[in-house]
Structure formats: C-alpha cells, structure tokens
A = this chain, B = another copy of it.
Amino acid sequence: MTIGSLLQPYVLRVEAALDSRLQHTSIEPRLQQAMRYALFNGGKRIRPCLVYLVNELLDGDNVEADLPACAIEAVHSYSLVHDDLPAMDDDDLRRGKPTCHIAFDEPTAVLAGDALQAIAFEWLAGDASTLAADIRLRAVALLARAAGDRGMVAGQAFDLAHVGRPLELDQLQRMHRHKTGALLTAAVELGALSAGVSAGERYDALRRYGDAIGLAFQVQDDILDIEGDTQTLGKPQGSDLAQNKPTFPALLGLDGARARLRALHADALRALEPFGEHAGSLRALADYIVARDH
C-alpha cells in the first residue's frame, strides 16, 4: 500500500470536516473565502493524519478526533499564510499556486491568518466536541503553547532573526524543533487526547515519535531543497541556499544530513516498538517523511 492510499481516507475525512465547519457566514465573505483558500491549498494534511492515526492506535473513535484534526490544520494553514507575507518570507507561490496575499490581498491575508488561529481554538473548545471537558482544555492549552512564543512562532522569529547569520547545529535543531516540530508533536498529542490518553508511557513514547519525525521532516526539507527540482517542490530549487539560510546540509554536508535523517528515522521507529504491529501506519508515515520527494 502506498502512503498516498494509506493516508487518503484521513485526508478526505479532515477535508470533509473542515468543509462542513466553514459553512457559517460572516459579514465579510471575502475574509472567509481567503480562509477557505488557505485551508484548501493542496497541503499534505500530515498533521491531521497524525491526529487520526494516533487516535486509532490508542483505540479512539475518529469522530472524537475530527475537531482536533481540523484545529491543528487551521493553525498550520494560518502559519503558512503569515509566513508567505511580503514582510516575512515574501513568497508568491506555495505548492505552485498563488499564496493567499497574492490571490486576495495583503490585509485580507493577515486577517485570514488571524481568524484561522482563532477558529482553531473555537473548534477545540466548542460544544460540538463530545470529549471530556478536561481533555478539551488540555488540548487548547497544548495547541496554544505549541503555536505561540515557546513554540512555532518563536521558531519562526528565531529563523527570521538569523537569516544570513551562521548557526551552530544545536541552534538549528532548536529552531526547527520550535518552528515545525512543536506542531507535529502537538498533532501526536492531540491524537492521544482524542482517545482519552493524556499521560503515561504510551503518551510519552508517541511524543518521542512526534519529536523525531518533526525534526526528520525538516532535515529532509533541507535535503530536498538541494536535490529536488522546482516543479516537484512547488518552489524554486536551491532557494534556501540562495537566501543563505542555515540548513542541515550546510552544517553537516549532504552525507552528514542524510545520516542525521536515518538516525531520526530510527528514533521514530524505536519509539513505536511498544505498539508492535498496530503501529504499522505510523511507521509508514515515518518512512514517507524521510523518503518523500516534495
């Protein structure tokens, strides 16, 4: 089974859930069109897939995982919209399509990002969820922390502050653990919470899995920036190098970066050992993350 066919039911599931949750009306329809554009931009839906796969591994019902899956995808989407802004990375294209501020305009992109962040917390906390109140609260606090000034946004700020400046390996790793790792680990935790599991050995093992694939994801991103071609990546190949961004291959060499990727992949698989056969899908996802070509 390919990773695409493995993940497809979850991708379809979260997209149907997102679609149905965005049916309400606003006084400013264009704002909501921009939110929808940002949410349905051809993304791989890795974070919601993680929520569902972890929830299933812990015998959860995926109905309980729908809102957490939607919420983390909304936070991820908002972060892409703001990252692409002219004041930030100034990207016109994402996955080969015009970025939100190009398809709409800059103020609309700022506000659509802001509203996507707000709606993520509304979805997690709202009455539509049947999860226990303490689990939902834990989910809100965890996602907020992973998204904020000790998580994703801190990583992004650190990144912007260090463009063109040399980074040590541990700084680079810390940056990525914040910038992309925090949200991927949060996805795993939201999956566990959806199954009613909020602590214990299984929870900790899954967190370690999330940490490992989060960093592996970024190492592979850096490798792809050197190896990939523009059409497959949806962004110009070599753009990190051109912008003098610190990367794993720049610090470790391409072979060193590949070795680091293999070590992280092994960490991820080791974390899944206690789950035996049941963790086949999460194993396949880890395999995909280190082998993907875009």
Contacts and interface: CB of A to CB of B under 8 A. Distances in A.
Interface in A109-128: 110-111, 113-115, 117-122, 124-127
A24 interface: yes
Interface stretch (A148-156, A193-201, A229-237, A264-272): A148-156
Interface string A45-64: 00000000000000000000
A183 to B, nearest CB: 11
Nearest to A150: B26
Nearest to A113: B114
A161 interface: yes
Copies of this chain: 2
Contacts of A86: 87
A216 interface: no
A160 B117 contact: no
Contacts of A153: 31, 111, 114-115, 118
Interface in A155-212: 155-158, 160-161, 174-175, 178
A87 B110 contact: yes
Report the interface size class on chain A: 35 or more
A238 B285 CA distance: 58
A19 to B, nearest CB: 15
A137 interface: yes
B110 A88 contact: yes
A126 B110 CA distance: 27
A184 B115 CA distance: 18
B110 A122 contact: no
Contacts of A175: 27
Given A87-B106, A121-B140, A144-B121, A154 B114 contact: no
A31 B137 contact: no
A82 interface: yes
